[in-house]
Structure 1
Amino acid sequence: MIQDYLNNSYDNSYRAEAKPSDDSFILHFHNNELLCHAEGNVASLESAIPGKAGSEEVVWKLLTFKEIRKTLSVAENKLIYLFKMDIDGENREFFLLVDASLLKGTGLAYSSIKDRENSGNSESDDYSTDGLYYIPASKFRSLIPLSTSFAVITAWQLYSWYRDNRHCGRCGALTIHDSKERMLKCPDCGNMIYPKICPGVIVGIIHKGRILLTKYANKGYDRYALVAGFTEIGETLEESAAREAYEEVGLRLKNITFYKSQPWSASSSLLAGFFAEVDGSDEVILETEELKEGTWFYPEDIVQMHEGVSLTEEMINHFADRKLDERWYKN
């Protein structure tokens, strides 16, 4: 999975007092797009396979504080410390640049990839700093190295949380940053706001040596996946797995067994993966607003993916490689 490429180097300890060094990475998002260096066929990202784009198709890197300072006079209070992790053998710190007004009139000003392509001019004024692109955060799961892509996606989750909580949801006052932990607080009413993490489940449903693979109906993603969904108020994760299975494919479950978890910043989620057996009939009744297909596969019939990104992929491959306890494969 994508987080496994970090080699335990990811350190999310909050350091409000941290100051950037020249080689610290500075991440600036415009809505859901990140400013970064990129060369090659950037348009290929529209159809890129997760975990595969890079080296040949697109060569990319993040902006450093030294590079930002060539164009901007950035006050330190305009940067928010995010985390640090190992990149190419070096321990690097990541900061968020949140004030878009600083970029006006510079080569860093916003212009989308499509704007540049439609202009027919690769030297557009909006790109006076050569090789800079705003790339949608959702595309970084396709870009290697996956360790740096993990950093970008996680930074985007934090950026979204900071952006969405500038005002207190209780009284409307402007929030301020806490000095000891990653928390926004209201100076007027004392409301404390922590980063949003939504628990969700992924369920590998097994029956008579087969696993149920599904396809989404309306998400623009045509690969096989597993039953999945968010945990509702008052549910355990196991109860969520049982409910999602019944709602999406009409199956009742037993022997719901935890496999592994994964942070999934694209939806501000923490995903818990389970394998489970069918309790009763194996007739699949699709919830057609969510799914367009639900098919039973034996291990040898599964076309595996080896992108190294998602918990879903790992669980499907784990079943296909017969790495589960043998009882799961009995007819």
Structure 2
Amino acid sequence: MIQDIAPHEYRNEYRPKPPEKDSIALYFEDHAVLMRKTAEGIEYPTFGDIEHLNEEIYEEYTYLFAIDGERYYLVDEINRVRLSPFTMENTEVFRAADPQYRAFAGITGYQLYNWYKNHKYCGRCGSFLKKDEKERMLFCEKCHNMEYPKISPATIIGVLDGDRILMSKYAGRSYKKYALLAGFVEIGETVEETVKREVMEEVGLKVKNVRYYKSQPWSFSDTVLMGFYCDLDGEDKITLDEEELALAEWFERDKIPVEPSRDSLTNEMIMKFKNGEIQ
């Protein structure tokens, strides 16, 4: 999965040390990131690469994290017209770009970019929020409100019936490949209850034997995904929620039309079942 970057080491402790010339500068505009593609894979500019584009770049930055001791920062307001080697690319590039640790750094930085962008002002009193010096937190000097990064828990659900698995396609989304059922955890329910509720709401089926598989940070949607398998309980007739899903179908293990990919928990769960590793 995208976060599996060993032997590289990801360190997310908040240590806002000033950047140096060789520190990595991540620059985003909406759904695009500044980067370049080389024979070795994707690269991001360093502060040394872009310091001529903004004289205040070493004063106006946001520390993000480190990988193998290399520090990553958010930067803003640079003049891209004068930056010929680098171009803006859609953040979907991170799903398959190499090297994988840089793709993971890019999408994780993008999640934090969105959080900072959407939390400039206090939601309680409207005052400007300030960065804390000791932890990744924004605080309001006026009303003392504190804001931490948003992480939404969600479930990925492999519904099984013997040698069959239920797969679906989303309605109204750009992603058109087969996926598993999924849904966000609501206030006041356990994740196991989320599994049962989402299956009933999306396909009208009852399930039992809900069992946890694995989790994954999914920065494309500010989410931590929790994968579960469960067994059909009763009738297998699907009643489709057409607002959420374009289709849902049962597939025999040896007829699953999905191939391995490295990025998602969903794909790994499907392939585990397809290869007979999950019964």
Category of TM-score, reference length = shorter chain: over 0.9
- Give 1:140 shift: 1.9
Contact 2:155 2:226 in 1 (8 A): yes
Task: Please name the residue that 1:5 is paired with.
Answer: 5
After superposition, where does 1:280-299 map in structure 2 within 5 Å? 280-299=234-253
Amino acid at match of 2:3: Q
Q: Is the 8 A contact 2:218 2:224 kept in 1?
A: yes
Q: What is aligned with 1:65? A: 47
Q: Over the residues paired in the alignment, what is the CA RMSD in angstroms?
A: 1.6
Q: 1:305 aligns with which of 232, 235, 259?
A: 259
Higher helix share: 1
Contact in 2 for aligned 1:38/1:133 (Cα 8 Å): no
Q: How many Å apart are 1:241 and its aligned residue?
A: 0.9
Runs of 4 or more above 4 Å deviation: none
Aligned to 1:165: 119
Task: Find the aligned partners of 1:148 and 1:247 in 2 and give their Cα distance.
Answer: 38
**Matched residue type, 1:321:** N
Alpha-carbon distance, 1:8 to partner: 5.9
Tell me if structure 2 keeps the 8 A contact 1:6–1:85.
Answer: no
The 5-angstrom pairing of residues 84-233 of structure 1 reads 84-86=66-68, 91-98=69-76, 100=77, 103=78, 106=79, 108=80, 126=81, 128-233=82-187
Corresponding residue for 2:21?
A: 22
Instruction: Percent identity, please.
Output: 41
Q: Given residue 20 of structure 2, which amino acid in structure 1 is its aligned partner?
A: S
Aligned AA (2:25) = I
SS at 2:10's partner residue? coil
Cα separation, 1, equivalents of 2:142 and 2:47: 34
Cα distance in 2, alignment partners of residues 228 and 314 from structure 1: 14
Amino acid in structure 2 at the alignment position of 1:66: G
In the alignment, is residue 33 of structure 1 matched against residue 32 of structure 2?
Answer: yes
Partner of 1:82: 64
Q: Matched residues in 2 for 1:243 and 1:155: separation?
A: 33
Measure, in 2, the Cα distance between the counterparts of 1:159 and 1:275.
33
Q: Cα deviation per residue 1:110-133 (whole Å; 9 max; x = unaligned)?
A: xxxxxxxxxxxxxxxx3x432321
Q: Secondary structure at the match of 1:254?
A: strand
Residue 223 of structure 1: how far off its partner (Å) = 1.1
Following the alignment from structure 1 to structure 2, what is the Cα–Cα distance between the partners of residues 312 and 8? Answer: 23
- Structure 1 residues 258-303: Cα deviation after superposition (integer angstroms, max 9, x where no partner): 0000000010000000000011111111101111221111211123
> Could you tell me whether the CA contact under 8 Å between 2:42 and 2:102 is conserved in 1?
no
Q: TM-score, normalised by structure 2?
A: 0.95
Q: 1:87-112 deviations in whole A, cap 9, x for unaligned?
A: xxxx31100113x2xx2xx3x2xxxx
